[in-house]
C-alpha cells in the first residue's frame, strides 16, 4: 500500500467526493513544506493546468483540472481487506448495537416478544469471510490488496470509484482470490503496465471472465488490446463511456480477444464504417453494444451476393444501435441481413416514418430476426412485413427486371426481395400500369370436417362475421350454427393462422387473392 507520506506520480487520491491523480510531489518557491499536484477527474474542479506563478509543475488535459494541495487533505488509504471487513463483517460492537436497536423497537411497539428471526444465523454468516460471494467497496479509498486469503468463495468484486491505480495491485487481488470471475474497475484511472509486465500479469488473471472498465479514460482501441493481453480468459468486456475511436485492423486484438462474447462500447466514438467492420473479426463475439457512438452508416461488404452471408460477426446474435444518427435505415437493415446468426436488433425508429413502418422494414428485411427492441417477432408480423416490403419495392423491381445487371444490383440493395418473391410471387399486380382496380378477391373455402370445397369471390373488406354467415348458406349448414372457427391456411409455411376477431375484415389479416379459409 502507498503510505500517505510516500505519494508518487500516478497515485490516485480522493478529497471529499472528488477523485484525482497525483502529477507532482515537491516544493513550491516562497512557500513552506511539500505540495501535492493533482489532476482532477472533474475538469472544472481545479484552478489551473499545473502552472503556478508562471512555473509549469505538471500538465493537465483540461485548463482548469489542476490543483496544489497539502497531503493532510487527502482521504486515508485502505487495503481491500480493510474495506471489506469494515463494510461487511459484523463485529461484537455492531452485533451489540443491533441488539440495542431491537430492544428499542420492542419498547416502541410494546411488543416484548418481537424478534428478528434468524438474527444469530445472519450475524454468524456476516462474521465469516468465507461466506462472501458478491462484494462492493465502491467509493472506498482502496489502493492496495492486503491479505485476501480468507475470501475463498468470492466471485464478483466491485472496486469501481476507488483509488486503485496500477495493474500490479489489481493482479494481486485476482491472484489471491482464485474463485474471482467478475471484476468491476469502473471510474478508476489505472496506468498502463510496462511491456515486460504483461506476460507475468496475465498469469494472475487466468480465472477472470468479466471485466467492467466504464469511464476509465481509455483513449484508444490499441490501448484496450494491449490490456486484453493480460486477460487470457476474458469473455465479457464493458468499455462504456471512454474515449475510444478508430478500431484498427490488427491481428493482435483477434488473438487477445479470441474468447470475447460480449463487448460494450456504448458512448464512445466508434463511428466510421471501417471500425465497425473491423470489430466483425472478433471470432466469438455474440453481443455488441454500440449505442451512442455517432454511427451514420453501416456497411460490411459491397460484393456479397444476395443469397450469401459475409465472413464477419460470424457468431453475433445481438446488436444495439440506439442513439446513432443512421442516415438510411433501410440500407442498414439490408447490411444487417448479411450477418449469418443475427437474431436481435435494438435501435431508434426512423423519425420520418411511423414506428409501425420501421418495424415492418426491419422485420421484412432481416431473414433471421427473432426480436426487435426486445419484442418477440410473431409469425404473423413477419408475414405481414414481408408482404409490405413486396409491395413497397414493386415499382423499383419492375424498372430493372428486364436488365440482368441492374436486377442484380437491385437484389444486392434489397436482399429480402428474391426470397419474398419466392413465397408471394411476382408483384406485378401492384404496378400502376397493370394493377386491376377491384375490391374483390377469390377465396377457397374448405370444410375441414367433410373436405368439401367452394370457390367464392368476396369483397376485400368483408368482416369475418359476414363471411361466416355466407359460409353457412354456401355449405347448407344448419341455421342454428352460431359460431364457426375460421383459419387462414398458409400452404408454403405450412401453418394455420386463427381468424378470431369476427369484427375485423379480411384486410386486417392480410388475406390475399386465392388464399384458403378453413372452417370447422
CA distance 120 to 98: 11
Q: What is the reported pLDDT for 433?
A: 52
CA distance 245 to 229: 20
Residue 406: DSSP 8-state: H
The H or E element that residue 334 is part of is helix 329-336
**Residue 119: pLDDT above 50?**
no
The H or E element that residue 467 is part of is helix 464-474
* Backbone region of residue 443 per phi and psi (left: phi > 0; alpha: psi in -120 to 50; beta: other values): beta
Cell of 498: 386463427
Q: Rounded to the nearest 10 degrees, how much is the dihedral formed by the CA atoms of 356, 362, 363, 364?
A: 100
Q: Rounded to the nearest 10 degrees, how much is the dihedral formed by the CA atoms of 76, 79, 80, 81?
A: -120
Q: What is the mean pLDDT of residues 513-520?
A: 86
Angle, nearest 10°, between helix axes 92-109 and 119-126? 160
Q: What is the reported pLDDT for 435?
A: 46
Most confident among 328-332, 463-467, 502-506 (mean pLDDT): 328-332
Q: What is the mean pLDDT of residues 480-485?
A: 72
**Residue 215: pLDDT above 50?**
yes
Alpha helices, DSSP H, located in 247-297: 251-256, 273-279
Closest-CA residue to 273 (of 301, 251, 231): 301
255-264, 273-282, 362-371, 453-462: segment of lowest average pLDDT: 453-462
Sheet (strand 134-136) strand order: 134-136, 156-158, 182-184, 210-212, 236-238, 262-264, 287-289, 318-320, 344-346, 371-372, 375-376
Concatenated DSSP letters for 106-130? HHHHT-TT---TTHHHHHHHHT-GG
Q: Which one has a higher pLDDT value, 1 or 512?
A: 512
Q: What is the pTM of this model?
A: 0.73
Q: What is the reported pLDDT for 120?
A: 46
**Residue 108: pLDDT above 80?**
no
Measure the N-to-C terminal CA separation of the chain; round to a whole number of Å.
80
Q: Taking a C-beta distance cutoff of 8 angstroms, is the pair 38, 71 a contact?
A: no
Convert the pLDDT of each residue in 22-42 to its tens digit: 999 999 988 888 999 999 989
CA distance 231 to 238: 13
Q: What is the reported pLDDT for 111?
A: 58
Where does 440-519 sit in CATH, by number? Answer: 3.10.20.90
Q: Which CATH class is domain 209-377?
A: alpha beta
Concatenated DSSP letters for 481-494? -----EEEEETTTT
88 to 141, 144, 179, 492: CA distances (angstroms): 16, 18, 19, 62
Phi, psi of 69 (to 5 degrees): -135, 165
Q: Which one has a higher pLDDT value, 218 or 97?
A: 218
Q: What is the mean pLDDT of residues 358-381?
A: 95
In 277-317, the DSSP E strands lie at 287-289
3-class state of residue 197 by DSSP: helix
Q: What is the reported pLDDT for 126?
A: 45
Q: What is the reported pLDDT for 144?
A: 95
Q: What is the chain's alpha carbon radius of gyration, rounded to the nearest angstrom?
A: 33
Helices H / strands E in the chain, number of each: 15, 24
In 33-107, the DSSP E strands lie at 35-40, 51-52, 55-56, 66-69, 78-79
Confidence band, pLDDT 50/70/90 cuts, at residue 161: very high
Q: Which one has a higher pLDDT value, 438 or 315?
A: 315
| Burial class of residue 95 in the structure, from the number of CB atoms within 10 Å of its CB (0-12 exposed, 13-18 middle, 19+ buried) | middle
Confidence band, pLDDT 50/70/90 cuts, at residue 170: very high
Closest-CA residue to 340 (of 371, 313, 306, 376): 313
Beta bridge partners of residue 445, listed in sequence order = 454, 517
Beta bridge partners of residue 517, listed in sequence order = 445, 488
What share of the chain has pLDDT > 70, as a percent? 88
Q: What share of the chain is helix, strand, coil (3-state, %, to 5)?
A: 30, 20, 50
Convert the pLDDT of each residue in 122-160 to its tens digit: 444 444 778 899 999 999 999 999 999 999 999 999 999
Quickly tell me which residue has 370444410 as its cell.
447
Q: What is the mean pLDDT of residues 432-447?
A: 73
**Residue 97: pLDDT above 50?**
no
CA distance 388 to 397: 14
92-101, 131-140, 272-281: segment of lowest average pLDDT: 92-101
Beta bridge partners of residue 498, listed in sequence order = 487
Q: Which CATH class is domain 11-73?
A: mainly beta
Q: Taking a C-beta distance cutoff of 8 angstroms, is the pair 223, 246 a contact?
A: no
3-class state of residue 423 by DSSP: helix
Q: Which one has a higher pLDDT value, 118 or 223?
A: 223
Q: What is the reported pLDDT for 253?
A: 60
Q: Taking a C-beta distance cutoff of 8 angstroms, is the pair 324, 297 a contact?
A: no
Cell of 320: 444495439
245 to 267, 268, 273, 275, 336: CA distances (angstroms): 10, 7, 12, 8, 22
CA distance 358 to 330: 9
CA distance 366 to 329: 12
Q: Which one has a higher pLDDT value, 517 or 320?
A: 320
Cell of 468: 361466416
Strand 375-376 with 371-372, pairing = antiparallel
Cell of 130: 468465507
Beta bridge partners of residue 142, listed in sequence order = 78
CA distance 456 to 451: 16
What share of the chain has pLDDT > 90, as a percent? 61
Cell of 337: 441481413
Convert the pLDDT of each residue in 293-326 to its tens digit: 999 999 998 889 999 999 999 999 999 999 999 9
Convert the pLDDT of each residue in 179-214 to its tens digit: 999 999 999 999 999 999 999 999 999 999 999 999
Amino acid at each position: 500500500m502507498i503510505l500517505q507520506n510516500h505519494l508518487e506520480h500516478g497515485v490516485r487520491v480522493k478529497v471529499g467526493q472528488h477523485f484525482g491523480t497525483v502529477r507532482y510531489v515537491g516544493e513550491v518557491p516562497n512557500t513552506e513544506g511539500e505540495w501535492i499536484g493533482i489532476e482532477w477527474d472533474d475538469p472544472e474542479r481545479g484552478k489551473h493546468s499545473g502552472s503556478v506563478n508562471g512555473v509549469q509543475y505538471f500538465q493537465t488535459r483540461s485548463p482548469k483540472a489542476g490543483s496544489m494541495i497539502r497531503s493532510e487533505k487527502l482521504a486515508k488509504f485502505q487495503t481491500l481487506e480493510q474495506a471489506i471487513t469494515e463494510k461487511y463483517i459484523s463485529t461484537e460492537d455492531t452485533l451489540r448495537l443491533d441488539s440495542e436497536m431491537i430492544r428499542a423497537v420492542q419498547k416502541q411497539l410494546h411488543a416484548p416478544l418481537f424478534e428478528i428471526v434468524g438474527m444469530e444465523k445472519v450475524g454468524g454468516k456476516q462474521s465469516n469471510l468465507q461466506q462472501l460471494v458478491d462484494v462492493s467497496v465502491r467509493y472506498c479509498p482502496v489502493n492496495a490488496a492486503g491479505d485476501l486469503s480468507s475470501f475463498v468463495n468470492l466471485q464478483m468484486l466491485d472496486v469501481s470509484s476507488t483509488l486503485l491505480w496500477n495493474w500490479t495491485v489489481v493482479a494481486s487481488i485476482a491472484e489471491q482470490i482464485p474463485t474471482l470471475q467478475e471484476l468491476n474497475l469502473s471510474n478508476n484511472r489505472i496506468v498502463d503496465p510496462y511491456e515486460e509486465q504483461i506476460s507475468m500479469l496475465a498469469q494472475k488473471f487466468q480465472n477472470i471472465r468479466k471485466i467492467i472498465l466504464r469511464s476509465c479514460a481509455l483513449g484508444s482501441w490499441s490501448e484496450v488490446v494491449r490490456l486484453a493481453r493480460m486477460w487470457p480468459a476474458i469473455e465479457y468486456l464493458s468499455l462504456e463511456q471512454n474515449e475510444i475511436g478508430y478500431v484498427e485492423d490488427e491481428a493482435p486484438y483477434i488473438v487477445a480477444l479470441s474468447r470475447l462474447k460480449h463487448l460494450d462500447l456504448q458512448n464512445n466514438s466508434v463511428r466510421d464504417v471501417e471500425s465497425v467492420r473491423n470489430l466483425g473479426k472478433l471470432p466469438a463475439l455474440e453481443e455488441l453494444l454500440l449505442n451512442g457512438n455517432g454511427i451514420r452508416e453501416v456497411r460490411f461488404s459491397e460484393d456479397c451476393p444476395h443469397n450469401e452471408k459475409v465472413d464477419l460477426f460470424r457468431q453475433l446474435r445481438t446488436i444495439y444501435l440506439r442513439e446513432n444518427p443512421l442516415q438510411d435505415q433501410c440500407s442498414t437493415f439490408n447490411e444487417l441481413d448479411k450477418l449469418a446468426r443475427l437474431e436481435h436488433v435494438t435501435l431508434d425508429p426512423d423519425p420520418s416514418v411511423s414506428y409501425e413502418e420501421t418495424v415492418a422494414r426491419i422485420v421484412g428485411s432481416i431473414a433471421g430476426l427473432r426480436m426487435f427492441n426486445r419484442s418477440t417477432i410473431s409469425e404473423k408480423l413477419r408475414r405481414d412485413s414481408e408482404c409490405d416490403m413486396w409491395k413497397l419495392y414493386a415499382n423499383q423491381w419492375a424498372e430493372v427486371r428486364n436488365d440482368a445487371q441492374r436486377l442484380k444490383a437491385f437484389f444486392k440493395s434489397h436482399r429480402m426481395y428474391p426470397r419474398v418473391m419466392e413465397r408471394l410471387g411476382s408483384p406485378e399486380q401492384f404496378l400502376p400500369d397493370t394493377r386491376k382496380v377491384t375490391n374483390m378477391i377469390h377465396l377457397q373455402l374448405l370444410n375441414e370436417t367433410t373436405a368439401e370445397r367452394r370457390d367464392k369471390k368476396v369483397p376485400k373488406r368483408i368482416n369475418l362475421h359476414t363471411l361466416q354467415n355466407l359460409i353457412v348458406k354456401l355449405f347448407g349448414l344448419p341455421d342454428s350454427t352460431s359460431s364457426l372457427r375460421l383459419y387462414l391456411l398458409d400452404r408454403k409455411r405450412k401453418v394455420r393462422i386463427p381468424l378470431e376477431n369476427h369484427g375485423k375484415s379480411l384486410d386486417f389479416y392480410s388475406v390475399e387473392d386465392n388464399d384458403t379459409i378453413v372452417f370447422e
